[in-house]
Chains A and B, each alone.
Chain A
């Protein structure tokens, strides 16, 4: 079975500051890794995914995440955040066709 741990339930940062949202996982099988974002009162949207190949994956709005197999981590980073990045971020792992989510990290951006 897979499990996901998001190490921070809330992360407050100032606008234009860098941010890192941490995610660790455990699995006995090969996995795919995802970050989903949920804006207030909206559904889940895929932010980025790692399926295979390059361990560094990027989204169109400046986020990136790096798959680290030895540390079983998939941390999400952005060098400079914007007010519009305020949302809940969920790390998820898929193994054996089952998608398991972390508890979520609430990112709040202060002006």
Chain B
């Protein structure tokens, strides 16, 4: 069974630039999550999708972050414009609906200079 795929694995940009991350969840997993993991901290949920609808985006900085999951499968997370404090690993995870276990992708390490 293929795991959660993410790309790119690494990205370096300058502040005020924009960046996008892509996630492909495990086949059949209707629920998709984006987490932000700042160095030295645990992952923090940014947004949760159920199919192509948003379940929880209460911790998403909506002035600069956006996410979509148009066809209920792949998802993209965008930051525009990026700030220095956005430097982090962005993790995508997926699960079956109501399932307690989440499966994580390898993450995208973003460095903002």
CB within 8 Å of B: which residues of A?
A: 4, 32, 34, 36, 42-46, 49, 51, 90, 92, 94, 97-104
* A interface majority secondary structure: strand
Q: B58-112: which residues lie under 8 A (CB-CB) from chain A? A: 91, 93, 98, 100-107
A–B complex contacts, Cβ < 8 Å, 10 sampled: A36-B104, A46-B103, A49-B100, A92-B42, A97-B55, A99-B45, A100-B45, A101-B44, A104-B40, A104-B41
Q: How far is the CA of A34 from the CA of B33 in the complex (A)?
A: 17
Q: Given the interface contacts A49-B100, A49-B101, A98-B56, does A43 sit within 8 Å of B106 by beta carbon?
A: yes
Q: Tell me, in angstroms, the Cα distance from A4 to B104 when the chains sit together.
A: 19
Dominant SS among interface residues on chain B: loop
A34 to B43 Cα, complex, angstroms = 13
Which residues of chain B have a CB within 8 Å of any CB of chain A? 33, 40-45, 55-56, 91, 93, 98, 100-107
Most interface-central of A32, A49, A94, A97 (chain B CB within 10 A): A97
A100 / chain B contacts, CB cutoff of 8 Å: 45
**Nearest A residue (CB) for B55:** A97
Q: Tell me which of B33, B44, B100, B104 contacts A32 (CB under 8 A).
A: B100
Give the docked Cα–Cα distance between A100 and B93 (Å): 13
Contact at A103–B41, with CB atoms within 8 Å? yes
- CB of A51 within 8 A of CB of B105, answer no
A sample of 6 more A-B contacts (CB under 8 A), given A4-B42, A43-B104, A100-B45, is: A43-B106, A45-B104, A46-B103, A49-B100, A99-B33, A104-B40
Min Cβ gap A88→B in Å is 9
